[in-house]
Structure 1
Amino acid sequence: MTLKTLQAGRAIAVISVACVHLSALMGFPQYGNNAVFLDFTKNGDLGVNFFFVLSGFIILFAHEKDIDRPPQWKEFIYKRFFRIFPIYWLYTFSIILAFSLGLSKHSLQLGYFPDWATSILLIRFSTIEPPLTPAWTLFHEIGFYLAFSTLLLNRKIGTAILSLLLITCVVRFQFPLPSDRTAWNVYTAAHNLDFFFGNGSLLSLQKCE
């Protein structure tokens, strides 16, 4: 099995999300006040769901052989860390610098330590919106990566943790709560079901081969 087609799908998903955001920006007064393409691109945000499904598929595809192998846990965390954080920190601190120099009419809301920890570590310690707004997706990605990594430490414990998370997300989907940015709402949101759908897609494909 190769991932070339899926990687191409990832590119399409990223482009579709970018298009819907750009279309919305065109409706702002400073950008023309005419979101002329919004009707055409309004479903582009489904690219986020596809991206999450793809992440669930690929993470299991790449690390299925590492399940129940504790020595692989450190390498897994190492790879995930360096794939996400260096470039994220570069953009985040560039934005913070721009705010500090007065290059934006908006103001940062990083008032106390949990806000900074949330924005830098991408783990929900507060409900703050990070300086790099699109990074909201990374909170879901990292939450699932950490949950998945428990499979590498112990198959039974990891399966129990992921099963509990799956059940909780399904219940939340059926009985939605206010969509604020608390840790509970982020890590049990319906978006996280996409990762499990990706896992299940791989397992189903393997059974059909």
Structure 2
Amino acid sequence: MAAERNLNVQVLRAVAAFLVVVGHAAHETEVMSAALGRPAADLSAVNWGFGVDIFFVISGFIMVYTSADLFGRPGAWRIFLTRRLIRIVPLYWLLTTALLVGALLMPQLLNVPISDWKHVLASYLFIPSMRVPGEIRPVMALGWTLNMEMFFYVLFAAALAFPFRRGMAVLTLAILSFATIGLAFQPEQVQLAFWSQSLVLEFLFGCLLAVAFLNGARLTAPVAIVLGLIGFAGMLKVPGLDGEPTAFDGLRWGVPALLVVAAAALSPGSSSRAVLWLAALGDASYSLYLAHPFILRPLRNVWINFVGDSISLTVYVLVAAAIATLGSVLVYRWLERPLLRWAQAWLGPSSKRPAHAPEQAAALS
């Protein structure tokens, strides 16, 4: 089953990563505000983490979209997981190592809480682990999304043992079961508590959307635009409703994210120059997601020392997001792509994606 490159989804990957960067840049201004005596950028009316919800839905969509022909094939789980590990591990391990080295050499700059060697090992192995009391995150905090991705990949790989329809039924049942455990029992065991978050439903939303796509579901451009606008409106926080994370976040943010992804995936494609440029940025979205903290933190210090309080910190958010985006393109070209080629060559031809398969989402990746 051939899977052609979906430019709309690639563009949406770029948008999702950019939302996360803007949110983190705004967070940096809280520290800058104390140093400069200027108000921090108040962008709190928007859930900028909505980019992660979009990534999770995209991930579910692309896994089914690109791997539908693997269902029921002998050794499919091994092929799938090998490709996923090649795509996710090299850059993440490299940047995690860089963060650990930086934390040892410049602890005052990075301020990375490292509990013990077990937590470090769990971070490399994508096993949920407590970073500090009450916070289940790896050494690189934003890598929590990759821990969730890897859990989904394992469930997906198990479902590949069955023919397509039965495999999708097994996957749906597994994800619903974990989400139900989380909602009904709120387990305290660290790994089960993490894996049973309602956010896991967002992967299922993407999977079911891909099934609809493969069965011919499409949207006209006007309908897609309206659906996308409704979805993006869902990222606005409702006073009195959206405060601390809740057990229902997978529905609260996942449903609007599904509308956004559906608008992109099911709408007519375009090959205009602007779309191609944004799709190219979507290719670099994994680098943007992982590398932007390494760009924002030094830039924050540069801004404090050389720009000072002469310009609104909202301008910093815009400048920092733009510089992080450009920097991620360089990381993608000079680090991510060479690492990907090396890993594919090391693991052999069977690890390579078919020529027709699009760049796969990471999580976001």
Which TM-score tier does this pair reach, normalised by the shorter chain?
Answer: 0.7 to 0.9
Contact 2:64/2:207 (8 A) holds in 1: yes
TM-score (norm 2): 0.51
Query: What secondary structure, in the 3-state scheme, does the structure 2 residue paired with 1:154 have?
Result: coil
**Cα distance in 2, alignment partners of residues 133 and 31 from structure 1:** 26
**Cα distance in 1, alignment partners of residues 122 and 38 from structure 2:** 34
- What one-letter code is carried by the residue in structure 2 that aligns with 1:111? D
Which one of 193, 197, 201 corresponds to residue 193 of structure 1? 201
Counterpart of 2:175? 165
Counterpart of 1:75? 79
Counterpart of 1:35? 40
Q: CA deviation at 1:123?
A: 1.6
Which one of 56, 60, 63 corresponds to residue 67 of structure 2? 63
1:177 maps to 2:186: yes
Query: What secondary structure, in the 3-state scheme, does the structure 1 residue paired with 2:41 have?
Result: coil
Contact 2:138/2:144 (8 A) holds in 1: yes
Contact 1:25/1:31 (8 A) holds in 2: no
Counterpart of 2:124? 120
Aligned length: 204
User: Residues 62-85 of structure 1, C-alpha deviation per residue, up to 9 Å, x if partnerless?
Assistant: 001101112232221111111111
**Residues 147 and 31 of structure 1, relative CA distance in 2, 3 Å threshold:** farther
Query: What secondary structure, in the 3-state scheme, does the structure 2 residue paired with 1:130 have?
Result: coil
Which one of 109, 114, 120 corresponds to residue 109 of structure 1? 114
Query: What secondary structure, in the 3-state scheme, does the structure 2 residue paired with 1:153 have?
Result: coil
TM-score (norm 1): 0.85
Query: What secondary structure, in the 3-state scheme, does the structure 2 residue paired with 1:98 have?
Result: helix
Counterpart of 1:99? 103
Counterpart of 1:145? 153
- After superposing on structure 2, the runs of 4+ consecutive aligned residues of structure 1 that deviate more than 4 Å are 30-33, 155-159
Which one of 210, 228, 231 corresponds to residue 202 of structure 1? 210
How much identity, in percent, do the aligned residues show?
Answer: 25
**Residues 207 and 162 of structure 1, relative CA distance in 2, 3 Å threshold:** closer
Q: CA deviation at 1:162?
A: 4.5
Q: Which has the larger radius of gyration?
A: 2
Counterpart of 2:271? none
Contact 1:24/1:38 (8 A) holds in 2: no
Between Structure 1 and Structure 2, the one with more helix by share is 1
Contact 1:148/1:162 (8 A) holds in 2: no
Deviates more, 1:148-157 or 1:13-22: 148-157
Q: CA deviation at 1:154?
A: 3.5
**Residues 181 and 117 of structure 1, relative CA distance in 2, 3 Å threshold:** farther
Counterpart of 1:48? 52
User: Residues 167-204 of structure 1, C-alpha deviation per residue, up to 9 Å, x if partnerless?
Assistant: 3314534x4738x7811111111111000000111122
